[in-house]
């Protein structure tokens, strides 16, 4: 392989304007995202097949939110302290182990959460507060999540810091768009691969094959980022100094981030209430499959993978053009569009007809929400000082994810009584976040410079 900008690798770098470290990060993102997208979106369905109900699935979502809240700050601090390569290698190995634990989840047994709730009359109707049925909780699913989430959440600060130190401030949105494009390409291919496997095998057998493939991708990604990433440009920050350091970082958070943080938290809380139930709505509530030429009949489980692929295809087609557009119109309008789609999707999905074509169109529109992600990330990390990108990112996600922790559990409890109410409430909260951002959100000036 030559060192000049010729050949396929050089052409890819020029087209996507990638520095070496961002390229390596993008490759790792591709492999891990392939594994995540093949598995994590199907875990609620896997739990349902194992006998878990809405409450247990909601608790799983809440547990995932808890991990997302706990992991980013120490992950960012660790990456700033020991360097991105070492940190991402460690996190990659942990994630690979998580996929394997999911593969053998049956060996860990189940526990039963006793009923917690009561029936009360509200506005003349009997409603359930809490839940009245025992919740079957597969232990291996929860344990596997502890490990599988490591690269995605522990490594969040490290991935942001790599892009921050590799590109100029006015190119941040484009830099993040490059990594997101690789990641979303995997999000396109992963569901299709899962759909292909699930079209051949029953869900119980096919999903285990999917988990094994995901573990292999995780190992390959870990090795790639360890041996190809150049750690000589890593900027190391101070070591973690305990809770006082968290408080100091939160107090010193750039002022531009505060209204964005409030709005983002509301949008994510609403989405988090019902996100784990998207697959349940498609496969069990609507029960939508499809017959395709050559391929034949796809079950609802397999068709859900196709829907995810459609969503990612739209995201891939628009992400880079929109990120470049953001340099002219600013980051705020782009982020606002993404927030709007996030907010309205639950209400539209729950009232969608059991029609395969309509669902395909709906998920295509949903892909528009990813257009704002590169600009959103640029708004987060842009104001950070050199050497502190990991800590700023970790602090931001710590606050957001702590507030979002109970969202899925709340959504699960409401869903158990009324799926429509859960999804409509999610949209209402998301729209509140959009209004906050439109009213108070601030622009990162360097993003529209040049």
Measured distance CA(1)–CA(10) in Å, rounded: 10
State CA 57 to chain mean position distance: 17
Helix (H) or strand (E) holding 88: helix 84-103
Q: How confident is the model at residue 15, as a pLDDT?
A: 41
Measured distance CA(114)–CA(130) in Å, rounded: 11
Measured distance CA(34)–CA(231) in Å, rounded: 25
Q: How confident is the model at residue 1, as a pLDDT?
A: 39
Q: How confident is the model at residue 91, as a pLDDT?
A: 85
Q: How confident is the model at residue 253, as a pLDDT?
A: 73
Measured distance CA(288)–CA(360) in Å, rounded: 11
What DSSP string describes 38-49?
A: HHGGGHHHHHHH
Residue 6 belongs to some domain of the structure? no
Q: How confident is the model at residue 14, as a pLDDT?
A: 40
Residue 37 belongs to some domain of the structure? yes
Which residues is 138 bridged to in the sheet? 110
The closest of 182, 102, 103, 178 to 146, measured between CA atoms, is 102
Residue 249 belongs to some domain of the structure? no
* β-pair type (110-113, 125-131): unpaired
Q: The domain spanning residue 151 has which CATH number?
A: 1.20.1250.20
What DSSP string describes 103-166?
A: HTGGGG-EEEEPPEEEEEEETTEEEEEEE-S-EEEEHHHHHHHHHHTIIIIITHHHHHHHHHHH
Q: How confident is the model at residue 3, as a pLDDT?
A: 41
Residue 240 belongs to some domain of the structure? no
Residue 120 belongs to some domain of the structure? yes
Low-confidence ranges of the chain (pLDDT < 70): 1-23, 72-73, 75-80, 82-84, 115-134, 153-182, 184, 229-246, 249, 382-392, 394, 444-450
> CA 331, 337, 339, 342: dihedral to nearest 10 degrees?
-140
Q: How confident is the model at residue 245, as a pLDDT?
A: 63
How does DSSP classify residue 372? G
Residue 5 belongs to some domain of the structure? no
Residue 8 belongs to some domain of the structure? no
Q: How confident is the model at residue 399, as a pLDDT?
A: 83
Structural domain total, the chain:
1
Task: Write the pLDDT tens digit of every residue in 365-380.
Answer: 999 888 777 788 778 8
Report pTM: 0.79
Q: How confident is the model at residue 72, as a pLDDT?
A: 65
How many CB atoms lie under 10 A from the CB of residue 295? 13
Q: How confident is the model at residue 272, as a pLDDT?
A: 94
Residue 118 lies in domain: 17-229+254-448
Contact 393, 381 (CB under 8 A): yes
Which residues is 127 bridged to in the sheet? 120
Residue 320 belongs to some domain of the structure? yes
């Amino acid at each position: 392989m030559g060192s000049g900008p010729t050949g396929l690798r050089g052409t890819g770098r020029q087209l996507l304007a990638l520095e070496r470290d961002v390229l390596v990060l993008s490759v790792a993102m591709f492999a891990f995202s392939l594994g995540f997208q093949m598995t994590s979106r199907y875990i609620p369905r896997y739990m349902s097949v194992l006998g878990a109900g809405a409450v247990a699935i909601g608790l799983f979502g809440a547990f995932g939110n808890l991990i997302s809240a706990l992991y980013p700050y120490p992950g960012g601090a660790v990456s700033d302290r020991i360097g991105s390569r070492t940190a991402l290698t460690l996190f990659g190995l942990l994630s690979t182990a998580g996929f394997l634990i999911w593969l053998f989840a049956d060996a860990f047994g189940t526990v039963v959460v006793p009923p917690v709730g009561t029936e009360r009359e509200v506005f003349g109707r009997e409603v359930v507060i809490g839940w009245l049925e025992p919740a079957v909780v597969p232990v291996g699913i929860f344990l596997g999540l502890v490990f599988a989430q490591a690269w995605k959440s522990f490594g969040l600060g490290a991935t942001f810091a790599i892009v921050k130190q590799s590109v100029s401030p006015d190119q941040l949105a484009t830099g993040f768009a490059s990594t997101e494009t690789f990641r979303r390409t995997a999000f396109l291919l992963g569901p299709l691969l899962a759909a292909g496997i699930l079209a051949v095998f029953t869900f119980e057998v096919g999903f285990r094959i999917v988990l094994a493939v995901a573990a292999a991708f995780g190992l390959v990604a870990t090795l790639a980022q360890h041996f190809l990433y150049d750690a000589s440009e890593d900027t190391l920050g101070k070591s973690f100094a305990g809770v006082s350091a968290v408080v100091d970082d939160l107090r010193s958070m750039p002022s531009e981030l505060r209204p964005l943080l409030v709005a983002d938290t509301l949008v994510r809380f609403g989405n988090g209430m019902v996100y784990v139930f998207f697959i349940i709505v498609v496969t069990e509530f609507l029960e939508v499959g499809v017959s395709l030429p050559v391929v034949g009949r796809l079950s609802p489980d397999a068709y859900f993978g196709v829907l995810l692929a459609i969503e990612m295809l739209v995201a891939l087609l628009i992400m880079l053009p929109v990120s470049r557009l953001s340099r002219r119109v600013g980051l705020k309008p782009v982020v606002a569009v993404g927030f709007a789609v996030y907010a309205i999707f639950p209400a539209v999905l729950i009232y969608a007809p059991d029609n395969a074509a309509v669902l395909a169109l709906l998920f295509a529109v949903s892909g528009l929400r990813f257009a704002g992600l590169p600009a959103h990330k640029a708004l987060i990390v842009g104001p950070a000082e050199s050497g502190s990108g990991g800590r700023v990112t970790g602090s931001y996600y710590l606050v957001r994810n702590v507030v979002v922790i109970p969202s899925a559990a709340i959504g699960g409890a409401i869903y158990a009584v009324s799926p429509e109410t859960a999804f409509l409430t999610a949209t209402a909260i998301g729209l509140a976040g959009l209004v906050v951002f439109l009213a108070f959100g601030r622009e990162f000036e360097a993003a529209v410079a040049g």
